[in-house]
Structures are given as structure tokens and as C-alpha cells.
Amino acid sequence: MSTAVESKTDAPANEPEANKLFRMCIKYQGSDLHLKVGLAPSMRLAGVLRQMQLPPLTTHDMERLMYPLLNPRQRGILDEEGGVDFAHIILDGDVETRFRVNLFKARGRLSLVARRVSNKIPTFEQLHLPPSLAEITQYDQGIIIFAGVTGSGKSTSIASMLQYVNERERMHIVTIEDPIEYTYKDDKSVINQREVGIDVIDWDIALKHAVRQDPDIILVGELRDRDTFNAAMHAAETGHLVFGTIHAGTAPSTISRLLDLFPRDMHSSLRQSLAFNLKAVVAQKLLPTTKEWAEKGVTRVPTNEIMRMNPTVKKLILNEEDTKLGDAIRIGMSEGMQDFTESLRQLVVAEKIERAVAFEVAPSPESLKMALKGITINQPGIL
């Protein structure tokens, strides 16, 4: 595809003018829409930003296109905080396409990045996720944390896990989201989705309500601060299975990221809570696929690090020996754990990613090199 993208598309006359750009993203299967003053609209195709064949946007253009998309509450958040998240829905008959939108100010002018969210929740197989994630959904209570940077596919993977439960178990699942990304259809489970700012005023009230709604599973979205984490932990302690996300690079570093939410004098009690309530941490990164897989329509696949709570991991967390958690993961493969090195090795062997890509993101290129040669590194005792 050339750098410029043809900008012709059909759109109903009575919908917001900005929908023409969103529909372009749908038409060309773009993953993200980017709008910035001074540049032509762009979309991300197969991981690469491409400009549309349109004139550069002016400040007036952005205000004319964006403000009609906001309700009064969202406009107030944008003006007060300098940015706002919301969901934008494009309808084509009975087909609904959702975008997760971040509208923000940069140098005093509006910019937008919108992530297109697939209508259909993909399966583990379609996402190329480790099968062991199915086992993680079977806990009766506790907290499961997905770690990764923005755009690493955390929300999609959790949606796949919840859909797995929905298709197999008679549960009540409550999600608290800002905004709602994937919409579920009740199957064997009953699913109630609440959007902060529309269905409920804020996260705190939503979480207080959630534990009174007879849930089996609660999705709390991002563990963004101390209050959200405390509420999620309380829900886990009172007999619910809780899913949450956090910005962290690896499974072991997730522990320190959670501790960073609290003052030092609270770390000991927090470690106690984590040791008894944390069930698993799944860290994820998205990587570009080989040409062969890209031609099949699979442009990115996840590499996952999985840390599950066993006696060794629990003891290391309680004893503040977080630096040894990586070793615990490596020797816990028989219990459904894996580190990034093993995940990358599997992806290379399956020819889903290029060796160069694997070595670029590998925590230890030397360990990956040895793993690809079939050499097992004996770990020192960690107890």
C-alpha cells in the first residue's frame, strides 16, 4: 500500500462529519486513527502509519469535527484535564464497530488517537495466546493482573478470557470500564457492563456496587491508583475473581509497580495481601509477525510471561525477594508458568516471528540464543 490512502467512503448524511474518517479506518482495516492539526488524517495499517489523501487539518477543522462527538460531561473533562477517553460507535445496519478514543490537547490544539476494537471477541487460538490462560479463568476467587504497556493487547486478551468463561460457565460477570471496549452477549453467563460516567458516576461507587451485585467475576479495568487497587483487593478477599490491568513490563516488575502505589510503611501488609489473594500475573507484548503469517491476515502476535502463585512465588513475595521471581517462573513451567524467553523461543520455532524481532525484545538475548539451541540453563536454588 502506498503512503497515502484513498479517502473516498460512503457515510449517512445525518451522522457526525468525523464519522467519515472513522469509516475510512474501518474500510481499510486500520487499527488506529490519528488526527493532528497541521497533518493529514492518518491510520495505522499493519503496524505502519499511513496518511490519507486529504488536506492537512486546521485548528478549526479539529474543533468542528471533534466537539460534536462529546457529551457535556466529556467536554468538561477535556477542558479541565486536557484529555478525555470515550467510546465512539459506528453503525452500519446491524453491524456495530467500536473505537476507543483518546482526545487530548497538545500545544493548545486538539489531537485524537482512536483504537478500532473488533466487534467479535477473538478466541485464545485466534489471538495466539498460551492455552494455560484457560486454566487461570477457573479460579474461584482472587485477583488476576494483566501487565503491559498501552497498546499491548491487555484488554483484548482479558475479553477473550471472559468470553471463554461466558461460553462454558453459569456465572455472573460484572465489568467496570472507561470506556466499554468489547460488548458481550450473554451465553451461559449473565454479563453486566457498566461504563464510568454513563452508567455510574465514578470507579469507587461502581466497585462498591459491584460486590453487592452477586458477581462471580469482576473486571475492574486499570488498577490506576491506591483506591482502585484496594477496592479490587477487597473484592478478591470477599470471594470474587477479579481481573485488572496495570502498566508494567514484566510479571515480576508488576509487584514493585503495585507497591509503588503505597507508602513504604504499608508494603509489608500489602505483600501479605498479594501473597494470599494474587493468583496470576500475565505480562504481554505485541510483536510483528513473519511475512507468511502477515499474508494470512495475522500481523501481530503476543509474547506472554505468566507467573502463577505457588508456594515458591508466595514465599519470595513475602520475603521481599522479588529479584528471584524470574527464576521461580523459569522452574515453574510444569505449573503453567513461562517467561518471555520461553515464549519467544516458541514463537520463533513456530515461525510466527522473525529471529531478529525476538532478539530485539528478549530480556536476555544470550538466554534466548541458548534456548533456541535447546540448552537448558540450570537455575540455582531460590528457596
Poorest-pLDDT segment among 110-124, 194-208, 228-242, 353-367: 194-208
Burial class of 12 by CB neighbour count within 10 A (0 to 12, 13 to 18, 19+): exposed
The sign one gets for the Cα dihedral 155, 158, 164, 169 is negative
| Mean pLDDT to the nearest integer, 119-126 | 88
Pairing relationship of beta strands 300-308 and 4-5 according to DSSP bridges: unpaired
Q: Cell digits for 77? A: 473533562
What is the spatial distance between Cα 370 and Cα 375, in angstroms, rounded to a whole number?
5
pLDDT one-digit tens code per residue, 23-47: 999 999 898 999 999 999 999 987 7
pLDDT tens across 275-305, in order? 999 999 999 999 999 999 999 989 999 999 9
CA 87, 88, 94 angle in degrees (round to 5)?
115
- Please tell me the predicted confidence (pLDDT) of residue 378: 55
Can you give the pTM of this predicted structure? 0.79
Q: How far is CA 243 from CA 11, 91, 108, 259, in A?
A: 38, 30, 36, 18
Task: Quote the pLDDT of residue 11.
Answer: 54
Q: Residue 2: pLDDT above 50? A: no
Contacts of residue 302, defined as CB under 8 A and 6 or more positions apart, other chains included, come to 127, 128, 129, 152, 153, 157, 284, 285, 286, 287
In this prediction, residue 92 carries a pLDDT of: 85
Nearest to 133 by CA among 238, 253, 283, 239: 283
Counting Cα atoms < 13 Å in the Cβ hemisphere of 21 gives: 30
Q: Identify whether the C-beta of residue 303 lies closer than 8 Å to the C-beta of residue 343.
A: yes
Q: Is a pLDDT exceeding 80 seen at residue 365?
A: yes
Nearest to 286 by CA among 217, 207, 353: 353
Burial of 183 (0-12, 13-18, 19+ CB in 10 A): middle
For residue 95, what pLDDT band results from cuts at 50, 70 and 90?
confident
As a whole number, mean pLDDT of residues 369-375 equals 90
The predicted pLDDT at position 383 comes to: 52
pLDDT-derived band at 6, boundaries 50, 70, 90: low
Would the pLDDT of 317 be above 80?
Answer: yes
Q: Tell me if 210 sits within 8 A of 239, measured CB to CB.
A: no
Higher pLDDT, 166 or 178: 166
Question: What band does 380 get if pLDDT is binned at 50, 70 and 90?
Answer: low
pLDDT in tens, 54-75: 999 999 999 999 999 999 989 9
| Minimum mean pLDDT range among 74-88, 196-210, 277-291 | 196-210
Residue 372 has pLDDT above 80, yes or no: yes
The angle formed by the CA atoms of residues 142, 146 and 152, to the nearest 5 degrees, is 170
Position 197 pLDDT exceeds 80: no
Identify the band that residue 350 occupies on the pLDDT scale cut at 50, 70 and 90. Answer: very high
Per-residue pLDDT, 1 = 40
